[in-house]
Amino acid sequence: MEDISLAWPTITKDGIPKYQQLIDSVLAAIEKGTLGHGQQLPSISELADKQGVGKVTVAKAYEELRQRGVIRSQHGKGFYVASTDVRTSLNVLVIFDTLNAFKEMLYEALKAALPADAALSIFFHHYNPQVFESLIRNGLGRYNAYVIMPHFEADVSDIVSQIPRDKLLLIDQAMPDLTGDYAAVYQDFEKDIYEALKAGLPKLRRYRKVTLVQSKAHFQYIPPGTLAGFRRFGEESGMACVVVDNYHDELIQPGEAYLLYADRDMIQFIKHANRMNWQLGQDVGLISYDETPVKEILAGGITVISTDFAQMGQTAGQLLTERSRVKIANPGRLILRQSL
């Protein structure tokens, strides 16, 4: 019999069940054309020996495939491919960091870009690596696509690597340490903040200093590369650019501009400016990070550095629908408004 090579993912103790991995391998081989209609599969004994698993495991996988109508058994002869129509509806596990206005925009755009019969389940890790790993482990084998937002300062590539690469899509942030062929729609944070500040340089020149506020007291996540891009802008522009850990009203001085990551800091900034009778865009400059609808109208309009979250969601949905494994940088931009 012709040797059938089935892609067998790495098996971990708490990973995807072995029988499910075998089912996925058969379905993937059919979808790729490696297995064609009427083609014979290895016998239960042959496949058990080849993959180093028990015959019961192979039998369970074959029985489920038979019940789905994917394969058929012929008494005394073996198992054959009965149908090549194996493209299944998308069942997507979505893991974001937190829920906020722009993540909601991203999620809705993702959902709208998927086929009508796609099912999505969304969870949040809240920057907790243990919660993140638990969500992934509990979802292994239960979904055929995984949309993961790996917003962590520590390397979590070992956790994410448990997901089969052909089912993985990283969103918003790339993972340079994660090897393999998988999909991603990400922000180039270093490039985006540098280019955005460069585009706003004529406005920024009106201020003597630019301060980036990280908001560490509130566990605000600052994406990797952001500080490097900010400092690069300062070095090349000749402007004084400083980074501080947290916001406090005493930090704010007239004649200076501020880049705030946390929306709670932005609100405090605006309230303090109002108390001091400072006009945004004249006495003090304000740039917020990540666009939301309210920033377009708040205090006459807040200048933002932001990626297009709707476009990110749409692109991710297209990649999932097409089963495409490409990595795409979602562009960022500066939206100038009255606050600068």
Mean pLDDT of 107-114: 96
CB 1 within 8 A of CB 45: no
Query: What is the pLDDT at residue 15?
Result: 61
Residues 320 and 171 in one domain: yes
Residue 174, both tokens = 């790339």
In a domain, 144, yes or no: yes
- Domain count of the chain? 3
| Beta bridge mates, 171 | 185
Return the higher-pLDDT residue of 1 and 98: 98
Residues 179 and 316 in one domain: yes
Query: What is the pLDDT at residue 279?
Result: 97
CB 176 within 8 A of CB 224: no
DSSP 136-156: HHHHTTT-SEEEE----SS--
CB 280 within 8 A of CB 270: yes
Return the higher-pLDDT residue of 177 and 87: 177
pLDDT above 90 as % of the chain: 62
Question: pLDDT for 132-162, tens place per residue?
Answer: 999 999 998 788 899 999 999 888 999 999 9
Residues 313 and 286 in one domain: no
3-state secondary structure of 210: strand
Question: pLDDT for 213-268, tens place per residue?
Answer: 998 777 777 887 999 999 999 999 999 999 999 999 999 999 999 999 999 999 99
CATH classification of the domain holding 128: 3.40.50.2300
In a domain, 3, yes or no: no
3-state secondary structure of 159: helix
Question: pLDDT for 171-213, tens place per residue?
Answer: 999 998 899 899 999 999 999 999 999 999 999 999 999 999 9
In a domain, 335, yes or no: no
Residues 317 and 266 in one domain: no
Backbone angles phi, psi at 67, to 5 degrees: -65, -30
CATH classification of the domain holding 62: 1.10.10.10
Residues 171 and 210 in one domain: no
**What b/e readout covers 182-217, taking b as 16+ CB neighbours within 10 angstroms?**
bbbbbbbbbbbbbbbbeebeebbeebebbbbbbbee
Length of the chain: 340
CB 160 within 8 A of CB 175: yes
Neighbours of 13 (CB within 10 A): 4
Residues 210 and 318 in one domain: no
Residues 198 and 303 in one domain: yes
Domain containing 22 equals 18-81
Neighbours of 310 (CB within 10 A): 17
Most confident of 18-27, 35-44, 300-309: 300-309
Q: What strands lie across the sheet with 91-96, from one edge to the other?
A: 119-124, 91-96, 145-148, 168-172, 183-186, 327-329
CB 94 within 8 A of CB 147: yes
Query: What is the pLDDT at residue 163?
Result: 92
